Chain A
Amino acid sequence: MSTNPRPASVARARALRVQRSSWGLREPMGALMSSDRIAGRLAPFAMVAFIAYVLSFAFGTTPKIAPLILSAGLTVLALGLPLCFRPGPVPPVLRLVLPWACLVAIALLRWSAGGPLSGYGPLFMLPVLWVALYGGRAELAAALVVLVATLLTSASLVGAGAFASAELRRTLLVVAVASVTGISVHRLVSDVRAKAMALREQTAALRDAERRARSARDLFAGVLRAATEYAIIATDSDGTITVFNEGAERMLGYDAGEMVGRRGLEVLHVTQEVVQRAAALGLEPSFEVFAEAPRYGIAETREWTYVRRDGGHLPVAATITAMRNPDDEVTGFIVIATNITARRMEHARTRAIIATQAEIASAGHERKTVMERIAARALSLTGAAGAMVEVADGDEMVCALAAGSLASFVGLRLDRACSLSGLCLAEKRILSSEDAALDPRVDRDSCRQFGARSMVAVPLRHKETVQAVLKVVAPLPHAFSESNIETLELLANLMGAALAHAEDYVHLAEANSRLLELDRLKDGFVATASHELRTPMASIIAYTEMLYDGDGGPLTPDQERMVSAVGRNSRRLLGLIEDLLALSEIESGALKTCCAPTEVRPLVEAVGEALRPTAEAASVELRVEAGDDVGTLLADAAQLDRALMNVVSNAIKFSLPGGRVDLRAARRGALVEIGVTDGGIGIAPEDQERLFERFFRAAGARERAIPGTGLGLAIVKEIVTRHGGEVSLESKLGEGTCVTLQLPATLPDATADLVGVAALT
């Protein structure tokens, strides 16, 4: 015990104080007392020495001076030392010095009092008991040894007289009694001490556990209290409510007191929903509807409708989990529910906006319809009493459209300066007046007239400018929330976009009707131009010919050359006019495509015949080859004839004198192929691609001054394409050109009607 290290003793001392205060336990826990109390505990033994010393004078017969003085010294030591010890650490070994000093002092007194005759024997017990109480086993053994030594010393000093055997017996008896008593007391104390120790540890552990439990409880209670936006409800395994937090009280209007232990979770639900869910799960409608999933370890979150105490309904998202004990048995359930009204409203708003968008899209392009629909939506989505669209007009805002309570105010004019809409237009941002009666920006009388206490004005943006304002009003102040204003902004943007579309549409429709008119004019132009251009040309050409023929008198060679040039260019101009008219006729469809089955062979031969004089004049040999099997085409013979004439006359034009032009028609499967080949000047590769473009003339044609309008092949292409065919061209500069027309042949078995339809479509 005495060798125990300090920290342990301090800890023990601390534990003792706690023990005392809580349980009121006192001695014999002296061994465990703090060092500052040791001095007090030592005092009684010093007193024993003192009493013995006094008694030795009272009852002593032959006092001996020397031992008395020694004993007095030891007694003073035993008395003085405790008084010297102030609270503070005491070296453990000193704890035994005093009992031993007492023993020695008593022994000395005994000796001085005559040894065996003295009555101090029982006093020896006290120091031994002290050591047994407060010392360790080794210290007790040492104390007993000292006891034996002191008794034997005193006996030996007194000497073995007549009573020697009695003295020895008494000494042995004292030693034996002291040993037995000391050992018993020591064991008893050790035992009690060990038990106290165990008890203390147990208590400490218990208190620790209690502290932890309390902090957990506090945390849980804190969470329950803090979760004011969440309803946290616990139930036992049968569904009876065991916890109903403040959030739940606030959300549902019940007091925890009337719920906990009294009601089940079902009371919060709409019966119909529970029945439906039960049916979906294949269960009877009971608490199991909620408990089934958590029992399987699933934390289930579902949307439910809770019924408030006042009967109101509240949409919630509730998560239900099971609580389990260490044996994994379900001991109850925890429901955490959040109010999803706001979320639902947000969804509803989004849906409404999308619906509005769809509605606007299908509303056509009427500005008024668009505005009406959106004004109606503005009413239904914000709960406004009235809505109007106002347009700026000079210094005033004019109501262009109104709905709801404002419906009768269409056409109303308000001064821009004292109208919220006017300000909104000027500032190009949303303005809200929460209470018009207190708002200096607005004309209060007008507002009273409108029944407008709350107003929101939203600019209608239209291609970066604001020309109109959407305004909603309500008869109560503070009627429009942030979310309402947001909704209005969305609607205003929608309206702006829709109005822009409507405007674009109107522009497009106007442009389209202008184009149609132009097209009609063009058709008319083609018809009249044909006549009006030919008529003057007729006079020019006729007079020129007459001049040339000398009908106006003989011409000088110079005059003849000039008249000839006029004639040549008149013809050229006429050709150009005819080509242009033909092209525009073909293009505009004015030329009736009177498709009929047309024999290819006669057509080709007719073209050959018609151009033979031209070929001969150019010293070009024209060969026509058409097999008997070429068959028929579904075609407008006049157009096809024009196309072939163009191709063949081109071939002749670009042939060199003495050259040859081949016109061949042959059947290639479902196609009729008409090829015109010449051995002429050919066309440069870079020109070939553009050859079918209008007014394009190949470099070769221009260099050689071969007359032409640059429209011939464009006409050919247009005609062939309109017949469902294709034109292709192969050419090599200096070697010649081959133009091939491929046209769908009439199938022998098909009826003309069917083919006609197919070809025309």
Chain B
Amino acid sequence: MPTVLVVDDDPDIRDIATMKLEQAGLEVVTEADGEGGLAAALELAPDALLLDWMMPRLTGIEVCSRLREHPQTARLPIILLTAKAQEADIERGFAAGATDYLVKPFSPRELVARITAVLARGTK
């Protein structure tokens, strides 16, 4: 069963993601900040990572670029989840190594669809 790591400082978002992804038959692990997220990603080697941008201690962008530096996470599908909706921000996100991008507020259905999509791509 594929594992998805959800890193967000907002417990609601963690709850929403967990509910929807578990409903879709995925295993979900959550972390509440960047540092924890980075450690968990390296330790657990999840199949996908849903990563919030604006977080205390370590931002999603930093987590993203650091993970890309490690060989075991270099190809990890990372979906950046953020309230930053401008084109320039989206470009920055991709530049840091994000696989996909989801703007808050988001539709939970779309979240599941995107995660499922990157997992499918990854397994191919």
Contact = CB atoms under 8 A, between A and B. Distances in A.
B107 A545 contact: yes
23 contacts: A530-B85, A531-B84, A534-B83, A534-B85, A534-B105, A535-B10, A535-B104, A538-B106, A539-B12, A539-B13, A539-B16, A540-B105, A541-B106, A542-B13, A542-B16, A542-B106, A545-B108, A546-B19, A546-B20, A551-B23, A570-B105, A574-B105, A638-B87
4 tightest CB-CB pairs across the interface, nearest first? A534-B83, A538-B104, A538-B105, A539-B12
A287 interface: no
B83 A538 contact: yes
A535 B20 contact: no
A543 interface: yes
B92 to A, nearest CB: 13
A218 interface: no
B119 interface: no
B30 to A, nearest CB: 15
Contacts of A531: 54, 83-84
Interface in B50-64: 54
Interface string B73-101: 00000000001111110000000000000
A543 B105 contact: no
B109 interface: yes
A545 B109 contact: yes
A538 B85 contact: no
B58 to A, nearest CB: 17
Nearest to A636: B87
A15 interface: no
Taking residues whose C-beta sits less than 8 angstroms from the other chain, chain A's interface range is: 20 to 34
Nearest to A543: B16
A537 interface: yes
A26 B83 CA distance: 145
Nearest to A574: B105
A537 B105 CA distance: 6
Contacts of B88: 592
Interface string A551-594: 10000000000000000001000100000000000000001100
Interface in B1-55: 10, 12-13, 16, 19-20, 23, 54
A534 B109 CA distance: 18
Given A538-B83, A551-B23, 17 more contacts: A530-B84, A530-B85, A537-B104, A538-B10, A538-B104, A541-B105, A541-B107, A542-B16, A542-B105, A542-B107, A543-B16, A545-B107, A546-B19, A549-B109, A551-B19, A638-B86, A638-B87
Contacts of A551: 19-20, 23, 108
Contacts of B105: 534, 537-542, 570, 574
Given A538-B105, A540-B105, A549-B109, A530 B16 contact: no
B108 A546 contact: yes
Contacts of A549: 108-109
Nearest to A535: B83
Contacts of A574: 105
A531 B23 CA distance: 28
A700 to B, nearest CB: 30
Contacts of A592: 88
Which label, helix, strand, loop or mixed, suits the secondary structure of the A interface? helix
B108 A534 contact: no
Interface string A393-414: 0000000000000000000000
A539 B14 CA distance: 10
Nearest to A539: B12
Nearest to B17: A542
Nearest to A641: B87
A546 B84 contact: no
Contacts of B106: 538, 541-542
A591 B89 CA distance: 12
Interface in A277-293: none
A539 B111 CA distance: 13
A687 to B, nearest CB: 31
Query: Which of A538, A540, A541, A574: most chain B CB closer than 10 A?
Result: A538
Interface string A585-617: 000000110000000000000000000000000
A531 B84 CA distance: 7
Query: Which of A539, A543, A549, A570: most chain B CB closer than 10 A?
Result: A539
Contacts of A545: 107-109
Contacts of A537: 104-105
A541 B107 CA distance: 7
B41 to A, nearest CB: 22
Given A535-B83, A551-B20, A543 B12 contact: yes
Query: Which of B13, B19, B105: most chain A CB closer than 10 A?
Result: B105
A638 B86 CA distance: 9
B10 A539 contact: yes
A617 B107 CA distance: 19
A158 B54 CA distance: 185
A204 B107 CA distance: 138
Query: Which of A535, A543, A549: most chain B CB closer than 10 A?
Result: A535
Contacts of B16: 539, 542-543, 546
A638 B20 CA distance: 33
Given A531-B54, A551-B19, A542 B108 contact: yes
Interface string A263-284: 0000000000000000000000
A537 to B, nearest CB: 5
A568 to B, nearest CB: 14
Nearest to A537: B105
Contacts of B10: 535, 538-539
B19 A534 contact: no
Contacts of B86: 591, 638
A358 to B, nearest CB: 53
Contacts of B54: 531
Contacts of A546: 16, 19-20, 108
Nearest to B111: A542
Contacts of B23: 551
Contacts of B84: 530-531
Nearest to B103: A534
A320 B20 CA distance: 115
B22 to A, nearest CB: 11
